[in-house]
Amino acid sequence: MKSLAHQRYGQGEPLVVMHGLFGSADNWRGLARRWSDEFEVWCLDLRNHGRSFHSLGMDYSQQAEDLLYWMDNENLDKASLLGHSMGGKVAMEFALRYPSRVDKLILADIAPVRYEHTHGKILEGLRALHAQEPWHERRQADHLLADYVDDIQTRLFLLTNLVKTEDGLRLRVGIEEIDRDYQSIIDAPPGMELGKQFAGSCLAIRGSRSDYVSDDLLDEFKRGFPSLQLTELQAGHWLHAEQAEDFGRLVSEFLNKGTI
């Protein structure tokens, strides 16, 4: 079994950070350096993302096993987990399955429920980019992607997945594997269906302009995470980027005190 790629910062109690769909450990570098003054921060690349291996299957039980294998390889008996969006569901599933391995749990703008299919045009655009590889100018790739994705900030985020190779720019994200099992990504963590619970300290941070964690989901959230604390930032779904200072402060405060 292959182990997940990671970046490590600082010393102290371990904090494992997991990105969302189409993201990578690189997206968390700034916050990780901030937290490294107090904690040992591990930013992971989940399967089919960043520098990690490509493999069929995006089910959260599989991704929880990836995390377990990685923690065992790094001799981490227990760690706090922070996950955004898809990474939050990986963190939830791991906490539900292996609660003794989790200290505190922080979930950024995600709930333990099934979501609607909302990434259709993004998947089409990334498939189109992949089909025309290699690219020699990032500007040309952006021009093609604009046919599928209007928002320039979203395109800039997606284009972080284009990396230099010997013959030009290529996507490092496993778009074929992600596309094939996208239904697993939008599904609820399987541990919820099994009635499992994580009773430890849990913080959910939602964006005020995001609909990912609406009030009507809170009862379901608390069914799996009965100690849930909820707070909100004036931001959209990428709240850790839009409100980095406040997000970083909330995470540090919760890790140090177990409450906010």
pLDDT digits (tens, 9 = 90+) for 76-128: 999 999 999 999 999 999 999 999 999 999 999 999 999 998 899 999 999 99
Q: How far apart are CA 128 and CA 132, in angstroms?
A: 7
Sequence-ordered list of residues with C-beta below 8 angstroms from that of 71, at least 6 positions apart, any chain: 16, 77, 79, 101
Q: Please give the backbone phi and psi of residue 83, each rounded to the nearest 5 degrees, phi first.
A: -135, 140
pLDDT of residue 76: 98
Q: Which CATH entry fits the domain spanning 6-114+187-257: 3.40.50.300, 3.40.50.720, 3.40.50.1820, 1.20.1050.10?
A: 3.40.50.1820
As a whole-number percent, the residues of the chain with pLDDT over 70 amount to 100
Q: How far apart are CA 36 and CA 42, in angstroms?
A: 10
Q: How far apart are CA 260 and CA 115, in angstroms?
A: 28
Sign of the torsion angle spanned by Cα atoms 159, 70, 246, 30: negative
Sequence-ordered list of residues with C-beta below 8 angstroms from that of 61, at least 6 positions apart, any chain: 93, 97, 190, 191
- The pLDDT-based confidence of 260 (bands split at 50, 70, 90) is confident
Any idea where the domains of the chain sit in the sequence?
6-114+187-257, 120-180
pLDDT digits (tens, 9 = 90+) for 206-235: 999 999 999 999 999 999 999 999 999 999
pLDDT digits (tens, 9 = 90+) for 18-58: 999 999 999 999 999 999 999 999 999 999 999 999 999 99
